[in-house]
Structure formats: C-alpha cells, structure tokens
Structure 1
Amino acid sequence: MTKDVESLQRASLRNPIRVSISKTSHQTVKTLLQSWLLIPQKNKDLYLIHLLNDLTGHPTIVFSRTVHETQRLAFLLRALGFGAIPLHGQLSQSARLGALNKFKAKSRDILVATDVAARGLDIPSVDCVINYDLPGESKTYVHRVGRTARAGKSGKAISLVTQYDAELFQRLERALDIRMPQESPEKAEVMLLKVRVEEAQRVAVRQLRDEQERKSGKGRGQGMRKGKLLGRGGGRGGREDMDREEV
C-alpha cells in the first residue's frame, strides 16, 4: 500500500479495519520424506534407473527442466521396459489430458514432466516425486513435491544433485529451513546397469531425432500443399503466393 493510497484511505473511510498478512516462506508437509543423492553428472541416468527399479509399482513423477529432456527420458525409460509417459507444454491439450488420464488410471506408473505438472493437477495417488533436474526456486520445489503426501498421506521426494547443482541445492535448503538426509546407494550396484542404460540412451536419441524429423517433415509438407492450393488460381499472383508458402 503506497503513501498516496494511505492518504486516500484516511480521507474517505471511517474507522477502517486493516488486515496485514506477513510474507511467509513456502513449506513442505510433515508427512513428506525428503532426501537427496550427490552423483556425477555423467551417471545421472544410471542413478535415476536405480531409483525407479526400487520404486516399481509405485506411481512416480519425474520432473525435468526442459521439454527436450522430458521427451528423451520418456524414450529412455520405455526402452528399458518402464511404463513411462511424458507431459509437457509442447503437447496438444488432448495429448496432455491423455497422458494425465493414463497416469491417474495407473496404466502408466511413471509420469515424466516439466513444471507444467507442478501445480494445479489433481492426481490423488503419487507415491514418489523425483527431481531429475533441480528447480531454480524453492517455491517451484514445494509445488513439485506437493504432488505427493497429499490429504494426510505419506510420500517421498528425492532430488538428484550433481557437482553443478551443489550451490543451488544449498540455497534451496536455506530457503526451506531444512536439512535433508542424503541417500548413498552402492556405486557398484548402480554401475551394473551401465551397459543396458547406455544402449537405451542410444535408442532414446534415435527416437528423439526421428520424432523431430517427422515433425519438421510434416510442417514442410503442409506448407507445400498449401502453396499448391494457392497457386491453382493461375496468374502471377497465384505463383507469388505459392513461392512465399514454400519458403
């Protein structure tokens, strides 16, 4: 409230009641078990797969920072036999609803998502949230992990922290005023997954490239069909319109 508004209030109101709400930090619920893993960046996929193997049968949301990484992770998990489905802002509304409904109906037990799924979604049963990529703000973190441990139920949130995320993670703990326990899986056990995961990574990259090529090819095809349609009118104007469309 500015000084001008306060002056206006004094001049125009009689015996007003003023209600002030102090700014409070975002907090997580007590029924949420939070932990983190310190891992090398190059082994991030390995540790994710190790965690998901232990969570088999438990509905889990994996949060990633970008659309590209979300799509890649979905392809990676499918190549390894997981029931994963992506959810991000570049999907059509019908595709987003379809992905969400499959996850809610438990025909897919892993939802790989950007922050489009961090708030405003009613998903009653989520056992675990994994932060594959750490969010940049504590508010976003609270919204993400708030997808689990709802309505008094317990839930689990695990964050993957690489050597590049240490400072960001420390800021997150300070903002939330908590100290999360660290998990330390056996490295030898995790590395047993290396060969299978590397092959699945190659499959995911190919599928991602094929998908991008299909989309770009579809766009070019639509442009050419549109140009031919405009050119049917004959004459110079039709030819110029077609040239512009093809470009």
Structure 2
Amino acid sequence: MLFYGPPGTGKTMAAKRLARTSGLDYAILSGGDVAPLGGGAVTQLHELFDWAERSRRGLLLFVDEADAFLAKRGAGMSEGMRGALNATLFRTGDQSRDFVVVLATNRPSDLDPAVIDRMDEALEFALPGEAERAGILDIYFEQYILAAGTGRGVGMLARLAAFMRGRKAVESAILVQGVGAADLARAAKRMEGFSGRELAKFMASVQAAVFGAKDATLTRELFDRVVDLKVREHAARKAFVEE
C-alpha cells in the first residue's frame, strides 16, 4: 500500500490507526535510516522481514520517506542502496499473510517502477481544504485550549512559558474571552496550504502565548497575533522551498 502526499498530512497517523483497527502489530522504519547502514542495509532488511514473518498477530511495516532508499535505479545509486532496493523487492515479490507493507512518500514519482508495481493500493493524503482546516482547528482548540486546565495536551512550550510566569501550566485553566467558532473559521480561511501538523503546532503556539501572558487569558487580539505570526512563517518556509 502506498500513502503519498505533502508532509504533515497524517500518513503516519493513518498507518498506526490502520494497524490498531486491523489487530496487527506495527513497526516504523524511516527510509533515511537505511542509507547510513551502507553494505549492512541488506542484512538488516532481511532481519526485519524475518522478524515480521514471525509476528503472531501479523505485522504492518510502515516505511516513511520510502523514496530515500527505494528510488529509481540509476548510475548514481550506491551499491548499498541498490542492494537495499533489491532486498526489499525480493521480500515483497509475493503476497504475504504475515505482514503488510505501507510506504509513505512526498515524491511518489521518485520511486522505482518495480516498487510502485508491488503496491496494491495508492492513497493520496492531500492538504486539508478550508472546511477541513476549520474542523482540525476545532479539535485542537478543544485539546490545547479548553482542556489545558486538566493537563491534557499541554505542550512543552506552554510549560516553559508558564514556568517563566511562576506557575504550572497543567494547573492553569485558560480563560477564553471573545474567541469562538467564527474566529477559528476566519483563521482556517487564512491558513491555506497548512498541513494538519502545522495546524496542531499553531494551536500549541496559541497555548504557549496564553501561558506566557500575565493572566492565562486567551483574547481575540492574542489569537489573531499568533495567526498573523504563523501565516508569515508559513509563507517564508514556502518561499525557501520554491527558491
């Protein structure tokens, strides 16, 4: 199975959920961890697949950044990477009842054709649209703002900000003044191109800003200030990528 789409769109989360709902164990491998293994990558991969076949419940093997070692074969490919690719192709050539392989990549066109041929399903994880962004913000508003006094979802930035103010973030409930569904919808409209991960980080930044304030109160002014900051940061990162 192939999961493809921009970073932060939930590919890893979906793979974990798939494993849990199907009753499978799961293991996560980053493609970027294979290259440093050099010639030892082949042995390590065979040991990984042997372990997967021994799993009593069956195993979902999730390979993130799969293009890092399963890219198209070419003259510039090292012997270690060529061996790793061939080992993976060898172990996934037939249908298996012992394990499921899920590959994730931001660049599916970089994958070797033989790898793509082994994928029974290909699912695109696109960036969320405006309505989806509003829904995601609502979820994280509940987690990071409304539930802050319970200690659930209190991030490290918020703990640090609260510490600087001489209090514990987990003990402080956030007082919300003038921030509601309309403000979340307005923020969602401005955050075109944000991934789900970026939206979560945005709300964590709102939480940190609140705990860094004097009275742990979220006002519309403070909320809008963080929105402005994150929109500018997103635009700057996008410019870096496009250069």
Q: Compute the TM-score of the two structures, normalised by the length of structure 1.
A: 0.34
* Bigger RCO of structures 1 and 2 (CA < 8 A, at least 6 apart): 1
Structure with the higher helix share, 1 or 2: 2
Larger radius of gyration: 1
